[in-house]
Every structure is written in C-alpha cells, then in structure tokens.
Structure 1
Amino acid sequence: MSEIQFLNVDLELESKNDISILVGELAKKAIILNYDKDDYRQSARIESNTDIKTSDQAINHLCEQLESCSRNALKQWLTCSKRTFDIGFNSGGKPKCFNQAIKSDTLLRISAIDAGIEITIYPVE
C-alpha cells in the first residue's frame, strides 16, 4: 500500500497579456514546467528548483523568487488573472492521518502578492 506524500508546489499563471519577462526571470531561479502562448492568453506552470520537503517551504521559496523579480516582471505579474500556488500530494493508504501546515506568515505573504492556493491530490496508481 502506498503512502500519502507531499510532491511539490506549482505556481500557475494565466494572463491575456504578455508575461514573457516574468517567465524569463523566474526561469533563472525555478523550473518552467510549461509556458504556452496563443492569440488570446499566455499561461505558465513553474516549480521550485530545489529539493523542498513541505508545501510551506516551497511556497516561501517561490515567493522569494517572485519578490526578487524586476519592476517590469512584477508589472506582468499584476496582469495575471490566475496566480495560484497549486500544492500537490500523492494519495495513499498510510499513514492513517497526514497533514502539512501552511504558517500564518506564509498565508500573509500569499495574500500580499494577491495569489491563491489550490490543492491537487493524485490517485494511487
């Protein structure tokens, strides 16, 4: 029987405007899982490039990367209609109870940059 485990946090972005500067700057410090552009929108999925054990640490690491971006990149951040930290977990049968806390200062940090939280639970394979 597989164990429940934290996988990662993806930062999901979506905008009707250009976000190439933002994505380019984050690519220097994080992993760009995908970056799609068409005539109507741009979207990106980004994750931390370090080995992190908790969702709280991953969110804070991604916030640090965002906070170090240039003014032009941050202007593009503000155009995003979706700015979401997607916390991923593998489901499983053990342990009986599993939890991971997100600290209040992390929640304030997320709120300060006008982002949201989403949780994705992947099924046992």
Structure 2
Amino acid sequence: MSEIQFLNVDLELESKQDISVLVADLKKVATILHYDKDEYRQLARIEVAGEITTPDKAINHLCELIESCSRNALKQWLSCSRRTFDMGFESGTSPKCFNQALHADTLLRISAIGAGVEITIYPFEK
C-alpha cells in the first residue's frame, strides 16, 4: 500500500530578462535544480537544501532566502513573469484523507513578495 506524502516545494521562475544574479544569490543557500536560458527567456527551478517536512515550512524558508537577496537580485526577482511555489505531493492509496495547510501569515508573505502557488501531484509507482 502506498501512502500519500509531501515531497518538496520548488520555486519556479521565468523571465524575459536576465536572472543570473538572482540564481547566483539563491545558489549560495539553496539547490538549483534547473537553470536554462535561450534567446527568449530564462527559467529556473530552485529547492530548499535539506529536509523540510511541510509545505508551509519550505515556502517560509524560500521566502527568507528571497528576502535576503541582494538589491540587484531582487530587481531581477521583480522582472520575473513567473514566481511560483510549486508544492509537490506523491499520490497513494492511504490515508483515506490527507491534508497540508498553509498558514495565513505564509499566504500573506507569498503575496507580499509577488509570488503564486501551484500544486503538483505525482502518481505513485506500482
């Protein structure tokens, strides 16, 4: 029997502008899962280094990292057309009901930095 579980939160960024300073600032304190640029846009996917047990804790940690970035990195943050916290979960057959909450303060913090939230559910492998 497979259990539903929280996996992690990825911060997904997309910009038509350069975001290399932002990525470099975040790389010092987080894991860069993906960073790609072409002639049209730049994409990055960033994850908290280490084990985080809830989406609320992961998002708050990522918010702290963003808030502590340099002025130039924050300018690049504001240039992003996509600033999304993607909460990843693995589906399963138990428990019958599974929930994870984001506190009101966390939602306010997400809004204050101009980010959004997504939920991704991955199928469990048999």
When normalised by structure 2's length, the TM-score is 0.98
After TM superposition, give the deviation of residue 122 of structure 1 in Å. Answer: 0.1
State the distance in 1 between where 2:46 and 2:21 align: 14
User: Equivalent residue for 1:35?
Assistant: 35
Q: Deviations over 1:1-60 (max 9, x none)?
A: 100000000000000000000000000000000000000000000000021100000000
User: Equivalent residue for 2:118?
Assistant: 118
User: Equivalent residue for 1:9?
Assistant: 9
State the distance in 1 between where 2:34 and 2:74 align: 19
State the distance in 1 between where 2:63 and 2:49 align: 13
User: Equivalent residue for 1:105?
Assistant: 105
Which amino acid in the other structure matches residue 51 of structure 2?
Answer: D
State the distance in 1 between where 2:63 and 2:115 align: 10
Which amino acid in the other structure matches residue 30 of structure 2?
Answer: A
The 3-state SS of whatever aligns with 2:61 is helix
The list of structure 1 runs, each at least 4 consecutive aligned residues, that deviate by more than 4 angstroms after superposition, is: none
User: Equivalent residue for 2:50?
Assistant: 50
After TM superposition, give the deviation of residue 97 of structure 1 in Å. Answer: 0.4
> Given the alignment of the two structures, is residue 77 of structure 1 paired with residue 77 of structure 2, yes or no?
yes
- For structure 1, the residue ranges without an aligned partner over 5 or more in a row are none
- For structure 2, the residue ranges without an aligned partner over 5 or more in a row are none
State the distance in 1 between where 2:74 and 2:113 align: 10
Tell me the matched-pair count. Answer: 125
When normalised by structure 1's length, the TM-score is 0.99
State the distance in 2 between where 1:78 and 1:50 align: 27
Two-structure CA RMSD over aligned residues (Å): 0.4
